[in-house]
Amino acid sequence: LQTRLQAGQGYGNTLNCLLTVYRNESVAGFFKGMSFPLASIAVYTSVVFGIFSNTQRLLSQLRHGDPDHAPALADVALASMAAGFVSVGIGTPVDLVKIRLQMQTQPYVKANVKVNPTVPGFPVYRGPMHCFRTVLQKEGITGIYRGMGAMLLRDVPGYCLYFVPYTFFCERITPDGSMSPNPSSIWLAGGVAGAISWGAATPMDVVKSRLQADGVYLNKYKGTLDCILQTYQNEGLKVFFRGITINAVRGFPMSSAMFLGYELSLNAMKRHQTDTNP
């Protein structure tokens, strides 16, 4: 729904989009493009949390001489931005394939734009690997990384607004005297952080979605700035907030589960290390 609202045509609101997708494509329409992100999510999440955690430890070592020293919020922000920067290298191709698969059956009506030979409304790609190979053959590496600039502008500040609020709320919610936050504190802080991060990232998410969807049938945008200008001139400022409700609502449970899994796994590994090396 998020991609269709942001890059598609003819959807009035979230409910209308949901009903239209269901009528035209049944339940299967809601799961288009799922396999590629599903196959890569473990690697992507490991890289993000690994870069964040290790950068944080490095900064604590440099500042305090102890990698386990509690980091300041400024260090959390730097580690977050590093994680966001590195994550784009993995995330851009995955998002591009997902969006192309989701948008390939969408009708596109635009005056004075030359349409590619493929007829809109009929699938261009047979699956994620076929999509990846086709984009690579026709558009090269730059095609695979289309929308990378917009994704950097989304994820570098976005991860800062992800990890910093999480750390802040965890500290505030955790009872005094506790060595580490309890699962309920982690779940709540993670959910709030996810909602804040995804809500704030929505404008650049719209730009990224449009850039990556561009190329299925059309090539409208020359780059991130051109996409921003064209979108604003044609549809106004409010278009940059399309999908903000879905992003925020989705961000809460997704981030809650992510942080809870991360913290519990980390604690389990620390306990195992203590048990094996007393």
DSSP for 110-127? -TT-PPPSSPTTS-S-SS
Q: Tell me: the pLDDT tens digits for 1-40? A: 677 777 776 676 777 777 777 777 777 777 776 776 777 7
Contacts of 11 (CB under 8 A, 6+ apart): 4, 5, 17, 20
What pLDDT does residue 263 have? Answer: 87
pLDDT reported for residue 114: 43
Tokens of 125: 């790609």
The whole-number pLDDT of residue 83 equals 95
Geometric angle at alpha carbon 184, from 45 and 40, rounded to 5°: 15
Q: What is the structure's pLDDT at 278? A: 57
Low-confidence ranges of the chain (pLDDT < 50): 109-121
Residue range 130-159, pLDDT digits in tens? 889 999 998 899 999 999 999 999 999 999
Report pLDDT for 111. 36
CA 244 to the chain's CA centroid? 13
| Predicted local distance difference test score (pLDDT) of residue 33 | 67
Q: What is the C-alpha R_g of the chain?
A: 21
Instruction: Residue 165: name the closest of 211, 121, 198 by CA.
Output: 198
- How far apart are alpha carbons 219 and 211 in whole angstroms? 9
pLDDT at 22: 75
Give the residue carrying structure tokens 């942001």.
6
Nearest to 259 by CA among 202, 192, 209, 212: 192
At 215, the amino acid letter reads: G
Q: Give the C-alpha distances (Å, rounded to integers) separating 229 from 216, 234, 236.
A: 21, 9, 10
3-state secondary structure of 187: helix
Q: E-assigned strands of the chain? A: none
Contact 103, 213 (CB under 8 A): yes
Q: What is the pLDDT at residue 78?
A: 95
Domain ranges for the chain, please list them.
Answer: 33-145, 146-277
Tokens describing residue 26: 């049944």
Q: Is 130 exposed, middle or buried (0-12, 13-18, 19+ CB in 10 A)?
A: middle
